[in-house]
Amino acid sequence: MQEPDFDRLATLMRHALEGDSRAYEAALREIAQVVRAYARVRLGGTLADDVVQETLLSVHRARHTYDPRRPIRPWLLAIAHSRVVDAARRQRRRTRNEEALDVDPAGSARGSGERSLSVTEALSRLPRRQRRVIELLKLEGQSAREVAVALGLTVSNVKVIAHRGYAALRRSLKDQT
Amino acid sequence: MKQDELIETLVDDLRRVQNRPRTGRSLATFLLWSAGSALVFTRGGTSISDAPGGAALSLFVILMTAAAAAIVSSIPGRQAWRVGGVLSLVLLLVWGGGAAIRAVSVWHVPFALWGPVPWTKCLIFTLAFAVVPTLALIRIVNRGWVVQAGMTAVLTFTAGAAAGALTISLECPSHAPLHLLLGHMLPIVCAALIGLLFARLLFVRPLVPPLAT
């Protein structure tokens, strides 16, 4: 991969801060490339896209803290690093929750080797929106407000969808026991 | 949202932003808030002549280093805050350690150990006097962009509580080591722990994309 040109990126960012939207667009595209490479090294490919998007948002929100007289590299990588750490933390929490939720531990299979239904499988049978809401709430540990923002819903809507999802999940698991 | 859409939305949302105030100016603002709150709460009457000068000086240095480190930590990529942060926490430990050593040396003399003023009073007043400076510093720090919420919160609350303890140490006539440890230093430690507890709530902002225009 081509070595990122931080001098060019700094120039673009300086123009962007003066209100040049073309320079800003070019800067964001370069930042996306730099951050994708950085995140891939640390987290692997699956989470890199999430980290890129979150970093772009953070850069946008934090652009007032960029000082054009200072090098852009530490500024950008500090923001990217914090997003990588957050993503890794979320991933750990998700894995832990999935392990805790899994009701099909090895060795508890019923009858002639038939696999019992795990929560993960029951979850996958839910309608898409219910599944997504429950995944974000319970597996990624997001708040109702964060889920509402991510999915473009109201908070009360999220709660209603989650409530229906839990009920469906309970029914689905009960049918199997 | 796809990356291209996100970039388009962010570019549409581009407008001139006010740069964060310089660190020196932010620090001066914090000191003004701290001094103002000290004057208001003590009604302008401090018995500085009775104050233990060493303790007040230590607290002032802790306050300055912790506040400067907290403010600098809200600029992504600036590493200088680590030095200030470590320095303020080491100073706090040294100050507490000094009081603990003195406490051991006067262990058998209750009056010299505890002093004439109840330490609980100083503890409560220190925490009360810390409220305004801490809130002011939280606001100042949030003008930047915090990437390490935990340490920033510890430093912010340490600086705020040090401002409260400094106000109290100008008022309190007691130099007794256990009184200093429990009445003046313990609230700073408690405040730092409270900061750690609420770090993400105070300093991590949800990443909401701007509304597409």
- What's residue B213's pLDDT? 44
| Residue of A49, A52, A53 to mutate, testing the B interface (most B Cβ within 10 Å of its Cβ) | A53
The pLDDT of residue A101: 61
| Residue B93 near residue B168, CB atoms below 8 Å | no
Nearest chain B residue to A48, by CA: B3
Interface residues of B toward A, Cβ cutoff 8 Å, are 1, 3, 6-8, 10-11, 13-20, 74-79, 144-145, 147-148, 205-210
Helix axes A21-43, A6-17, angle to 10 degrees: 140
Residues of chain B with pLDDT under 50: 48-49, 212-213
Angle at B72 between CA B32 and CA B204, to 5 degrees: 100
pLDDT value, residue B78: 84
Chain-centroid distance of CA B137 in Å reads 8
For residue range B139-154, what is the model confidence (pLDDT) as tens digits?
999 988 998 899 999 9
A147 CB-contact burial (10 Å; exposed 0-12 / middle 13-18 / buried 19+): buried
DSSP letters spanning chain A: -PPP-HHHHHHHHHHHHTT-HHHHHHHHHHHHHHHHHHHHHHH-HHHHHHHHHHHHHHHHHHGGG--TTS-HHHHHHHHHHHHHHHHHHHHHHHHHHHHHH----TT--BTTTBPPPPHHHHHHTS-HHHHHHHIIIIIS---HHHHHHHHT--HHHHHHHHHHHHHHHHHHHHHH-
Q: What is the pLDDT of residue B199?
A: 92
Which of A18, A24, A75 shows the shortest C-beta gap to B11? A24
Instruction: Give a three-class secondary structure readout of B66-116.
Output: HHHHHHHCCCCCCCHHHHHHHHHHHHHHHHHHHHHHHHHHCCCCHHHHHCC
CB contact under 8 A, A61 and B207: yes
Q: Which two tokens stand for residue A162?
A: 């989650």
What pLDDT was estimated at residue B70? 93
Phi and psi, residue A114, nearest 5°: -70, 135
**What is the structure's pLDDT at B29?**
92
Q: Which residue has the tokens 């795990």?
A: A118
Q: Which of B203, B35, B41 is nearest to B127 (CA)?
A: B41
SS3 B14: coil
Residue in chain B lying closest to A75 (CA)? B77
* DSSP category for residue B207: -
Cβ–Cβ under 8 Å, residues B85 and B66: yes
The burial class, CB within 10 Å (0-12 / 13-18 / 19+), for A105 is exposed
In sequence order, the β-bridge partners of residue A110 are A114
pLDDT at position B134 is 95
Which of B29-44 are b and which e, b meaning 16 or more Cβ less than 10 Å from the residue's Cβ? Answer: bbbebbeebbeebbee
CA dist list (Å): A124 to A48, A92, A131, A133, A136:
24, 21, 7, 12, 14
Per-residue pLDDT of chain A (177 residues; tens, 9 = 90+): 566 788 888 999 888 888 888 999 999 999 998 998 888 888 877 788 888 988 999 999 888 888 888 889 999 999 999 999 888 888 888 777 766 665 544 444 444 344 445 677 788 888 888 888 888 887 777 778 778 877 878 878 888 888 888 888 888 777 765
**Helices of type H across chain B:** 3-12, 23-41, 53-72, 80-105, 110-114, 119-141, 149-171, 177-179, 186-197, 199-203
Of residues B6, B75, B145, nearest to A53 (C-beta)? B6
The reported pLDDT for the residue numbered B54 is 72
Contact B77 A32 (CB under 8 A): no
